[in-house]
Amino acid sequence: MKKTLLTISLALAAALPAAAYDLPSSTGTHRVSFQADTAGFNEYTREIGLEGNVRLEEFSAEDKQVKLIRARNLTVNMASRTIVAPSDFVMDDDTGTVYGKSAFFDYANNTGFINNGQFQHKSFIFRGRSVAFDKDGYVYKKASLTSCDSEPPHYRLRASRIYLAPERYFLAYNTVFFVGKIPVFYFPVIYKPLGRGTPFVSSFFPGYDERNGFFIKSNYVYRVSPQTRAKVYLDYFAKRGIGMGGELDYRRPEKNISNISVYRIREYGSNIDRWGVNGGYWHSFNRFNESDPAQYYSQSSFRLISDPSFNNDFFRTNPFAISPDKQASVAFTRKTNYTVTRLSAYGRDERSLENPDKFRKAYESVPRLDFNTVPFSVLKLPVLNSFTGYFENARETDVSYYQKKGRGAWTVSKTVPLSRNVILSPSVFYDQAVFLSTAAAVEDAWIGRYGSSVNLRYDKLWGSLDLRYSLRRRMRENSFSVDRSSTDKGQELSSLYVDLFIMPRHNTYFRARTSFDMRDYYTASFTRRLAPLTVEAYYAPRPSLDLYAEDSYSFADGNRSFVSQVNLGAGEHYFGAGVANYSTDSAAWVLSNTMGFRPWRGSKWRLEGVLRYRAVPAGFLEFSSFRFFEKAVSLYRDFHDFRTRWDYRVRAGGVKEFFFFVNLKMNDPVRYDSLEEKSRQCWHPWRQEGAVRD
């Protein structure tokens, strides 16, 4: 039978009196157009019945297609401006593609509902037993969500209800994560922006740890604004309990750069919280008045933990996990073209030797005032002057009282070019230290020092050679005479320094430095007077290979330390080897190996590993002692819908853990996130690129 084509155009603006839905006639006519194999019109009900290869198109007043509906049959009611799709249909618009078994559309109010609907938006596929929609978005009931295009999908999130605002966000309630038909996790609420910027990201780390038992660590990351990012941590440890925390980043480089990270857990059987607080800030203040050209800013840095083992128990990628101390500082600074004035407070606690589970106060300075000047001239004399000084209220290790003390040094210097390649730089200084009594057994005291320094530099394109002599003398307490009655005769420093730096090419350098002690009272031999010779060498013949070595040799006691490092490769394929030996444990060599590679080209697996061990040689390929103090391996693989990572780590301090990380590809950032990356570099440089927590 010959196919029939019927096209009908309806001007919606004329169908009913003007409403908010209609557009002014000056901009054109908002209309719909129908095409079908056959059509029938009922003049009493004003309904058009369309059957066979039905196409319904909605056009804006600017003659741009807004919607396209394709179906086997449709019923259009001209009076109510509604459309009924009694069977399968497909609808396309600028937000995506909708599939449904049946539907009702109200074009006058841009509302409707769909039965057994499916909507594909960007990389997401939304499904719902029933779907209601209006101009703001869709509401899915008895819904599911996935980004897997397989049928059936490899994974899905089943939800009692999903709110979708295309190009803006989706919000899902009462969700269960399924892998195939197997339920894995339950989430009360999932929210994800779909517009510009970094999306909402949820990440989960199931694993096992010998100390903490089975655990699941979860992260929830949300970009609050272009300058602000918030993170929430919710963790479950089978043997320890529930840990909660979060992190907040704020970055406006011209005004404020801040970060704070907090975490808290109360372990089973304990009535004491274990916690950590880390971060800091930099903040620039406005000028106090227009006539004041100075800059005012404040900054702080803090790393506080409840006990020395906290990081090693819960945050093992943090390098401070094996540096069990805590410290905090805050400062306010005034900076002009000529001076810098800084008011600060600082405190540091170290692990107690008597009780390793506690801290002891190592140093505290509250407050401290620093004042420095840039070099300046006086009375047009041909020399430069500078002053640096401080005054503080401080308490040191094993001292029960605060000591008020200060120090100031005035330096006069001048640079004298002797030739094109030879520069002479002499200077003299006077240094005054003051101690004010804060304990009955201590009296006020002041001690002066004076000295000089002269440096002769030979400078060429290939490098430089520095010869420097420095002298410092100490005066008697509360006196201007030299302290000759003490053991060192008041001679704190009298040394000749040599520093050779050679850089023949941009990828190669060599440096050697030492000094010779020339103090009169010091009766040591020549080799004792000679400071250890330190030699450094660096060579990078190509971008994927660099070698570094440093050795410190004492002519009196022999070798003091040797450190070397070789790095080969870049990106996913690399290998690193480090070797170190120290005089404090001269028989032992500390070795560190890092590596990363794909087993073969095109492999979906990638491996990274770390081995650190202590070896005591006893002959060729024989060792009297060989002990690993850290072993770690990470395996990566990308599946159709997931990015996965398996980590295994063993380290001193009772660390033996395995964890599994899975991230849905739908959580991948849509573009490079400069806020996350700059925050990582500033506050958490040890984190791997892309990691959101320790």
Q: What does the mean pLDDT of the chain come to? A: 84
How far is the C-alpha of 310 from the C-alpha of 307, rounded, in Å? 6
- Residues 6+ positions from 39 with CB-CB distance below 8 Å: 6, 8, 48, 49, 50, 51
For residue 367, is the peptide bond before it cis, meaning its omega torsion is within 30 degrees of 0? Answer: yes
SS3 of 310-353: the string is HHHHHCCCCHHHHCCEEEEEEEEEEECCCEEEEEEEEEEEEECC
Helix (H) / strand (E) containing 683: helix 674-683
Do strands 508-517 and 605-619 pair parallel, antiparallel, or not at all (unpaired)? Answer: unpaired
Cβ density class 36-46: b for 16+ within 10 Å, e for less: bbebeeeeeee
Other Cβ atoms closer than 10 A to 647: 19
Count of residues for the chain?
Answer: 694
- Of 676, 686, 685, nearest to 249 by C-alpha is 676
Long-range CB pairs of 18-23 (<8 Å, 24+ gap) are 19/108, 21/107, 21/108, 21/109, 21/110, 23/60, 23/61
How far is the C-alpha of 205 from the C-alpha of 684, rounded, in Å? 20
Long-range CB pairs of 307-311 (<8 Å, 24+ gap) are 307/274, 307/357, 307/358, 307/359, 308/351, 308/356, 308/357, 308/358, 308/359, 309/357, 309/653, 310/274, 310/275, 310/276, 311/276
Phi, psi of 357 (to 5 degrees): -90, 0
C-alpha distances in Å from residue 582, one per residue of 185, 537, 553, 585: 50, 18, 11, 6
How far is the C-alpha of 175 from the C-alpha of 527, rounded, in Å? 75
List the structure tokens of 1: 């039978």
CA 173 from centre of chain: 30
Cβ density class 67-105: b for 16+ within 10 Å, e for less: bebbbbbbbbbbeebbbbbeeebebeeebbebbbebbbb
On the 0-12 / 13-18 / 19+ scale of CB atoms within 10 A, 240 is buried
SS3 81: coil
Bridge partners for 331 per DSSP: 299, 344
pLDDT score for 12 = 37
List the structure tokens of 469: 């002599």
C-alpha distances in Å from residue 298, one per residue of 348, 365, 675: 20, 17, 21
Domain boundaries, the chain: 1-93, 110-195
How far is the C-alpha of 504 from the C-alpha of 527, rounded, in Å? 31
pLDDT score for 425 = 96
Q: How far apart are the first and last CA of the chain?
A: 71
Residue 66 · residue 58 · CB < 8 Å: yes
pLDDT score for 668 = 59
pLDDT score for 53 = 87
Q: CA 608, 610, 614 angle in degrees (round to 5)? A: 165
pLDDT score for 77 = 84
The rounded average pLDDT for each run of 10 residues, N- to C-terminus, in the chain (694 residues) is 41 35 45 82 83 83 80 84 86 81 82 86 83 86 84 83 83 82 77 61 73 83 83 90 92 91 92 92 84 89 90 76 83 94 94 85 92 92 95 86 92 94 96 84 86 96 96 92 88 95 95 94 87 96 94 93 94 92 91 91 88 87 83 85 80 74 61 70 77 73
Q: CA 111, 113, 118 angle in degrees (round to 5)? A: 115
Q: What is the pLDDT of residues 519-534, one digit of tens each?
A: 988 788 899 999 999 9
Q: CA 665, 671, 674 angle in degrees (round to 5)? A: 120
How far is the C-alpha of 681 from the C-alpha of 475, rounded, in Å? 46
Bridge partners for 84 per DSSP: 75, 104
C-alpha distances in Å from residue 178, one per residue of 91, 139, 512, 664: 28, 21, 63, 12
pLDDT score for 199 = 55
Phi, psi of 667 (to 5 degrees): -85, -5
Q: What is the pLDDT of residues 148-163, one digit of tens each?
A: 777 888 778 888 888 8
How far is the C-alpha of 282 from the C-alpha of 280, rounded, in Å? 7
Q: Rg of the Cα trace of the chain?
A: 37
List the structure tokens of 478: 């509360």
- Residues 6+ positions from 540 with CB-CB distance below 8 Å: 507, 508, 546, 547
* Residue recorded with tokens 């100390």: 211
SS3 527: helix
Other Cβ atoms closer than 10 A to 318: 20
How far is the C-alpha of 201 from the C-alpha of 193, rounded, in Å? 10
Give the E-state strand segments of 210-255 in sequence order.
213-225, 228-237, 241-252
pLDDT score for 388 = 97
pTM of the predicted model as reported, rounded to 2 decimal places:
0.68
- Of 650, 660, 544, nearest to 596 by C-alpha is 544
Helix (H) / strand (E) containing 90: strand 89-93
Residue 451 · residue 429 · CB < 8 Å: yes
- Of 304, 286, 281, nearest to 296 by C-alpha is 286
pLDDT score for 548 = 97
